[in-house]
Structure 1
């Protein structure tokens, strides 16, 4: 059975744990840094979110044969010991799995396809036999006592027959990201990647580039639909090498077009004498609108844009009033569209800003 076929029959484990917003953002920033690392390496890849593990990386989007599994852990203070990752979590009804036990279950599900099992932490791992500070520790480097501790705990937890080569695929990572500054560190890494791939004098907005890619990662990470096959995993929960390359090209080239479109639209509003409060609300909404126009494969946003253009096309001959009068009229008509009525994502002024952009066909 191929790896892609296995995804149809092996369901991801339930993940009911909660995490503070900053911890989730740390994980998403780590994923962006991983995308940067993979891009710099030149290899093909497919990085998927919250599927069998926090992050998984497959070696191909077309015919994958190997997977790297990553479990991301954060804590404010202290270090992670072997005991921390081998102790089973206490639940209201019995014991849950240990950190390493849950991670190792992936090896049991995808034996020949597992390339590595990785625990990533913002703090270092305190391993007695490893004296120096290391960013990466392979468990085969541990001393015999520590190896035996891992063996005995995983044998008991998972009821498996142990092989010493199992340790060859288990890695402990001390991330360069910190809880306090993961946004800034990731933004810096992204800027360096863009400058290395394109001309050093390329004009782009670093903050907009970072926010656009972070929002795309956030959107794919947070999709909670059931994934039934590999094709759905690619479309809804993953970023491929080609996807990331397109994202980078968009954040370098498209913002100038959007800035020009914004300037033209607000010149039109100013010339029409739009009120200052309305102008400020629309200007604030534009910050989110431009992110959506820069996003890849945002099906719902594209549906909304299609609905807006349908309303405009059906009523174009009735738009005789001032800019804001036409805007209000189109907005009322848009609210009659079923997909708009049922959505709770986009605000009134977000939708009005999109209406303006589509109405005046600003590219």
Structure 2
């Protein structure tokens, strides 16, 4: 059975990929960061969110052959050890599965398609090392490895010594208290390296990426095809290229104030609009969602007929004002009550190409 057939047919583990609310944002940030690393390295990839584990990584978006599973656990102060990862806790007197067994369960279900089982944390595992990188469990002191094997075999009789080679520990550089800032820095570098754009506020793009990842964290509802699965649960290289392309187009097709200022009959009319024009441009560049694109297209459609009447610029904008005011609430409260701001919006969208 191919990995695609397995992904489509193997039931998701009970609570597979579900996380405590305090780890959700960290998990999303880490998964997005992983996608950025793979994209920057030029690799084919598909990074899935909360599907069979916290994060699953396929080696190709169209014809995958291998999958790596990442279980993400954060801690405020306590370091990790192989023993702690394999430990079982009791809840109401009943032994619960260990973190290690939950990882190994993916090997049981996906067999030879499993490339790596990775435990990710903001805290280190000192017996493996203190550098921000991945460590093989097999590189731990021999006594620690033997105890790990014994604990796993006690919990699951199918566990063999050779299975240890699948297990890895990833010490994440994302600090629990500031991972959002670290991610923002990664996104800023990513934008510059992939698009060449400078002086771009990365926050809006980062928020859009996080929103896309969060959407994919929702419970899967459609397994009718592999394309449907990818669309609902994975971020792929094609997705990222599309979003980067949209960002680049939005910034390259800017309408510059200096190009339109001369169209006004007098300086007073221009000055009344200028600050709002610049404000709208900044807001527009920070909104990358479907609703914003729809609003922009509707404004242009409403304004265009009025801009071909041969009147002065202000007269033409004023003629379109009532129609645009009816949809202005879709953008902001300020747009619905400030006519100069609305005129700035209309002028920008009429001139915008793209």
Name the TM-score, length of structure 2 as normaliser. Answer: 0.73
* Corresponding residue number in structure 2 for 1:343: none
In terms of Rg, which structure is larger? Answer: 2
> In the alignment, is the contact (CA less than 8 A) between 2:32 and 2:209 conserved in 1?
no
Alignment partner, residue 18 of structure 1: 20
Question: Which of 163, 171, 176 pairs up with 1:174?
Answer: 171
| Counterpart selection for 2:231 from 226, 231, 235 | 235
> 2:135 touches 2:169 (CA, 8 Å); kept in 1?
yes
Tell me the SS of whatever aligns to 1:254.
Answer: helix
* C-alpha distance 334-247 of structure 1, shift in aligned 2 (>3 A): closer
Alpha-carbon distance change, 69 to 131 in structure 1, aligned in 2, over 3 angstroms = closer
> Do structure 1's residue 139 and structure 2's residue 137 form an aligned pair?
yes
**Structure 2 unaligned regions, length at least 5:** 308-313
Contact 1:309 1:358 (8 Å CA) reproduced: no
Distance 1:333 1:292 in 2: 17
**Partner Cα separation in structure 1 for residue 147 and residue 322 of structure 2:** 68
- 2:40 is the alignment partner of 1:40: yes
Report the Cα distance in structure 1 between the residues aligned to 2:81 and 2:254, rounded to whole angstroms.
50
- Partner of 1:70, secondary structure, is strand
Compared with structure 1, are the counterparts of its residues 87 and 359 closer, same or farther at alpha carbon in structure 2 (3 Å cutoff)?
Answer: same
Say which of 210, 214, 220 aligns to 2:213. Answer: 220
- The structure-2 alpha-carbon separation of the partners of 1:69 and 1:17, relative to structure 1 and needing over 3 Å to count, comes to closer
Asked if structure 1 preserves the Cα contact closer than 8 Å seen for 2:132 and 2:173, the reply is no
Aligned to 1:54: 54
Secondary structure at 2:50's aligned position in 1?
Answer: strand
Q: CA deviation at 1:227?
A: 4.1
| Cα deviation code 1:182-212 (max 9, x no counterpart) | 23433444444455456xxx44234x23531
d(CA) in 2 for partners of 1:75, 1:332 = 50
Report the alpha carbon displacement of residue 242 of structure 1 after superposing the two structures with TM. Answer: 2.8
**Does residue 1:186 correspond to 2:180, yes or no?**
no
Residues 299 and 210 of structure 1: is their aligned pair in 2 closer, same or farther, counting only changes over 3 Å?
closer
SS at match of 1:111: helix
Counterpart residue number, 1:114 = 114
| Distance 1:170-1:287 versus aligned 2 partners, 3 A rule | farther
Give the Cα separation in 1 of the matches to 2:47 and 2:21.
Answer: 21
For 1:76, what is the secondary structure of its paired residue?
coil
Task: Give yes or no for contact 1:209–1:251 (8 Å, CA) kept in 2.
Answer: no
Deviations 1:228-287 (A, max 9, x none): 24212322332222332343344345324346489969x99975957x9xx59x94x876
CA distance 1:193–1:220, change in 2 (3 Å) = closer
CA distance in 2, matches of 1:92, 1:305: 57
Residue pair 2:119, 2:170 contacting (<8 A) in 1 also: yes
Change (3 A) 1:47 1:132: closer
- Cα distance in 2, alignment partners of residues 316 and 59 from structure 1: 53
Asked if 2 retains the 8 angstrom alpha-carbon contact of 1:12 and 1:52, the reply is yes
Structure 1 pair 262–220 and aligned structure 2 pair: CA distance change class (3 A): farther
Match of 2:198 in 1: 204
CA gap 1:197/1:361 in 2 versus in 1, 3 angstroms = closer
CA contact (8 A) 1:33 1:186 kept: yes
When the two structures are superposed, what TM-score results if normalisation uses the length of structure 1?
0.72
Of residues 278, 285, 306, the one that matches 1:290 is 285
Q: Which runs of 5 or more residues in structure 1 are unaligned?
A: 341-345
Residues 12, 51 of structure 2: 8 Å contact kept: yes
User: For the structure 1 residues 299 and 362, does the alpha-carbon distance in structure 2 shift closer, same or farther, using more than 3 Å as the test?
Assistant: closer
SS in 1 for 2:20: coil
Deviates most, 226-235 or 352-361 = 352-361
2:8 alignment counterpart: 8
CA distance in 2, matches of 1:263, 1:166: 65
